[in-house]
Amino acid sequence: MTTFDTLKNLNHPCIQRSAGELLLTLAKNAESRFEKVPEIMGVICAQLSIISQPRVRQQIINTVSLFISRPKYTDIVLSFLLCHPVPYNRHLAEVWRMLAVELPNTTWILWRLLRKLQKCHNEPAQEKMAYVAVAATDALYEVFLGNRLRAATFRLFPQLLMTLLIQIHHSIGLTMSDVDIPSGLYTEQEVSSEVTPLCFAMQATKTLLLRTCCLQEFNIMEKNKGWALLGGKDCHLQGVFLLANALLERNRLLAQKVMYLLVPFLNRGNDKHKLTSAGFFVELLRSPVAKRLPSIYSVARFKDWLQDGNHLFRILGLRGLYNLVGHQEMREDIKSLLPYIVDSLRETDKKIVLSAIQILLQLVRTMDFTTLAAMMRTLFSLFGDVRPDVHRFSMTLFGAAIKSVKNPDKKSVEKQVLDSLVPLLLYSQDENDSVAEESRRVLTICAQFLKWKLPEEVYSKDPWHIKPTEAGTICRFFEKKCKGKINILEQTLIYSKNPKLSVRRSAVLFVGLLSKYMDHNELRRMGTDRIEDGLRDLLCDPEPSLCIITSQTLLLVQMASAEPKPKQRMNWLQKLMGRSSA
């Protein structure tokens, strides 16, 4: 302790330098006999701020480095250094940055510091974040900046990266008041409101990428707002996906090392730990190396995730399967999960439904007929879904399923195909152009299945109500083809209640045309009262064009119920609108 007291001698720099040299010599020759390392570290940190001579400061830092490099003292020194206010003042920051450790010991020291942080993630979720998690994160940031442990940083990159990403996830939305700060730690200073656990985790992650030459990955994150995504409550996984893809694209070897690390990582920690790890893992499965992973670590794991109560795990399970299905060798294993994937089509979460559709599109040609038929029934229920993407892609998969039906099974699905005609025809009038276009495309597939040739008017992009002649041609075709097979009028009437104006209006117009062209005796047998009751409310619709079409449709229904056969007359809609046929 006399040596430490001599370090305070600011009036005699020579004495101070000698004391520094003596301290380092004592530590080198007698470190095994030091029993009060925490007290020694306390004195060193307290006096570092009053020592201005660079040489003496370095001698003191070398002393700390000597202690921390000895396995007997590593955890003791780390624990002491971590028990200081963050962000570290410039003196402690200098200690972290200037650690002078022999190469064989660098990995050990960095690993022990990393373990301090990892242990916090393995604990059950607490009301407040452990202070050591924030302190260790800030320490890693300072170590990366100093770059004195460069070799160890490269060697431990996979563990460092994933641990820091997990720390980011744990830190989202927290302030320092959400951290369990040891009593009396901030007696002389208050924590700035700008200091948050997230800012430390983000700084450390960015610096890690820069110090390990992941400059392209850093640039991709910056250009695509990846850092904001990582730190967002509802978009953290998108940031994880972006970084994983960037690493896979720019540094495949490093990405593969991370993937192998994640196999055991996925079984540890709480949900935040597992979600971040899982998010990174599923993106890396696009790598060809993923084929070498035993299915117990991929497909079997995804089966569990598809049944997990947390919808995020279900999303990740499907995302992982989609990335795996790109490897032909994995498809047979994935097919065992088809019942779970098809069940995902019934989910309320849009991402889950769309992910399931994308996987099924890859597997539809290899499905057995029972699975195919069940999937088609579920897809039919998604026609008209309020989510345009779900609506469109459900039709896409339905069309692919029809193409995949083998000849011996075609008769068994003919009824399903016939039942899809009216919805597809009416949704070809959808206000969403992509939905309308896909409806026409899948309607063509259905016609080819039934060996029909659709009239050219079906492919017109003009709304029926401005081209009534074309609508009449379409109506006559479907009325003739569907006669005796399905009740096309009954189906169309259902869509007169559709929430979309374009579909509702087309359905009402089509009911009027059917009343005009179908056999009136059959129409009367069906009962026109019900048709009139179903349409009458639409006379009060705020949309004028719908009101006009409804009133004329009702008139046609009434005339059909009274007349044995319709008379030839001018096109009813043209007459009502006061315009000639174009």
Alpha-carbon distance of 162 to 393, in angstroms, equals 35
Q: Residue 45 pLDDT more than 90?
A: no
**How does residue 526 score in pLDDT terms, banded at 50, 70 and 90?**
confident
pLDDT digits (tens, 9 = 90+) for 199-236: 999 999 999 999 999 999 999 999 999 999 999 999 99
- The answer to whether 231 and 199 are in contact (CB under 8 A) is no
Check residues 417 and 186 and name the one with the higher pLDDT: 417
- Interval 545-566: pLDDT, tens: 999 999 999 998 888 877 655 4
Judge whether residue 361 has pLDDT over 90: yes
Band of residue 578 on the pLDDT scale cut at 50, 70, 90 = low
ω before 87 within 30° of 0 (cis)? yes
Tokens of 374: 């069940």
How buried is 40 (Cβ within 10 angstroms: 0-12 exposed, 13-18 middle, 19+ buried)? Answer: buried
Task: Output phi, psi for 179, to 5 deg.
Answer: -105, 140
CA neighbor of 419 nearest in space, from 326, 354, 495, 505 = 495
Q: Residue 328 to residues 323, 332, 335, 337, 356: CA-CA distances in angstroms?
A: 11, 8, 12, 16, 18
pLDDT band at 571 (very low <50, low <70, confident <90, very high): low
pLDDT per position as a tens digit, 107-157: 999 999 999 999 999 877 778 999 999 999 999 999 999 999 999 999 999
Ramachandran sector of residue 184 (left: φ over 0; alpha: ψ -120 to 50; beta: rest): left
Q: 245-267: string of b/e by CB count within 10 Å (b at 16+)?
A: bbbbebbeebbbbbbebbbebbe
Element (H, E) at 341: helix 338-343
Taking the C-alpha atoms of 13, 19, 20 and 25 in order, what is their torsion angle to the nearest 10 degrees?
Answer: 150
How much is the pTM? 0.85
Three-state secondary structure string covering 502-533 = HHHHHHHHHHHHHHHHCCHHHHHHHCHHHHHH
Mean pLDDT for 459-467 is 92
The CATH fold assigned to 478-563 is Leucine-rich Repeat Variant (1.25.10)
Q: Which residues contact 390 (CB under 8 A, 6 or more apart)?
A: 350, 353, 354, 357, 382
Report whether pLDDT(378) > 70. Answer: yes
Closest CA relative to residue 386, chosen from 430, 421, 416: 430
189 φ, ψ (degrees, to nearest 5): -150, 150
For residue 31, pLDDT beyond 90: no
Residue type, 271: D
Tokens of 55: 């040489």
The answer to whether 316 and 305 are in contact (CB under 8 A) is yes
Mean pLDDT of 475-480: 94
Q: Check if the beta carbon of residue 506 is closer than 8 Å to that of residue 464.
A: yes
User: Tokens 């539809």 appear where?
Assistant: 364
Give 161's pLDDT tier (boundaries 50, 70, 90): very high
Where helices occur in 49-102 by DSSP H, the ranges are 54-69, 71-82, 90-97
Looking at every residue in the chain, the average pLDDT score rounds to 88
β-strand partners of 129: 179
Name 331's Cβ contacts closer than 8 Å, sequence gap at least 6. Answer: 325, 362, 363, 366
Q: What pLDDT score was predicted for residue 42?
A: 74
Closest CA to 422 of 478, 340, 364: 478
